[in-house]
Amino acid sequence: MRPASRALGAIGLLFFASGLSRADTPAGAFASQLDRIKANPALNELAAMYARDQAARDTLVQIHRGLPKAQQGAFMAAGMRRIEQDIDRPNIIALKQLVSHYGWSDLFASRQEFSYTVVLVDHAVFDLPFQKRALAAMAPLLPTRAWIKPDYALLFDKLARAQHKPQRYGSQIDQCVGGKFAVPDDLEDAAHVDNLRAQMGLGPIKDYVQGFNTAMGGC
């Protein structure tokens, strides 16, 4: 998991600059910034939503690992439905309010803001139009912000799957063979998928699939 506390970049920088203008020492400037961060709950809202998202999923996976194989599938499906209802949908309502207030550009202002935002968007499988808007907002940033590329690929494939199209990068892993996750068979260009993945900063697909098997104990 990524750390679960941070402020919105553009606003945080604004407060930091104002603090520097009034403080005589670096320590005073830092204290002034912290006071402003604490006084504005919106700065921490992304981190709080991300923390809830990750805690729910981590708990589900931990319990899933301890169950007999015969029970794991049904348990995971029921657990994900509950997470969507109790965590994901309220998170997306709140995220839409942040997008409306600050704009995608502010939420993508730094690696940390982006990482929180894109995880929430990825999990909004019930809101395809919102995911499409996020993907469109990410696309112009790819040439200058390389750290966006892996998550762009993930969301691209997720949207392709939702529209019954082949995956380009093979990021959606759910094919099960002999109790182990396998390379997906719905690839746009299976012969060149590793090249396509490399362009997005992703490793070979076989290593990616093995990571799923290690983390989940198989399928």
* Residue percentage of the chain with pLDDT more than 70: 81
- Residue 187 domain-assigned (yes or no): yes
22-41, pLDDT tens digit by residue? 456 666 766 766 675 565 45
Q: Among 13-17, 60-64, 140-144, name the one with the lowest average pLDDT.
A: 13-17
| Three-class secondary structure of residue 187 per DSSP | strand
Residue 201 within any structural domain of the chain? yes
> Burial level of 166, CB count in 10 A (0-12/13-18/19+)?
middle
Share of the chain above pLDDT 90, in %: 57
Asked if residue 194 belongs to a domain, the reply is yes
Q: What is the pLDDT of residues 70-96, one digit of tens each?
A: 998 899 999 999 999 999 999 999 999
**Is 217 inside any structural domain?**
yes
Can you tell me whether residue 23 is helix, strand or coil?
A: coil
Query: pTM of the entire structure?
Result: 0.73
Contacts of 65 (CB under 8 A, 6+ apart): 216, 217
- List the domain range (segments joined by +) for residue 155: 148-219
The predicted-structure confidence for 163-217, as pLDDT tens digits, reads as follows: 999 999 999 998 888 888 999 999 999 999 999 999 999 999 999 999 888 887 7
Quote the tokens at residue 154: 């993930």
Instruction: Judge whether 203 and 170 are in contact, CB under 8 Å.
Output: no
Does residue 184 lie in a domain region?
A: yes
Q: Would residue 36 count as lying in a domain? A: no
- Note the pLDDT of residue 26: 66
Q: Tell me how many domains the chain contains.
A: 1
In a domain, 29, yes or no: no
CA distance 71 to 68: 6
| CA 86 – CA 162 distance, rounded (Å) | 22
Half-sphere exposure of residue 61: CA atoms within 13 angstroms, side-chain side? 14
Cα separation, 197 vs 207, whole angstroms: 12
Nearest to 201 by CA among 156, 159, 147, 139: 147
Q: Is residue 170 part of a domain?
A: yes
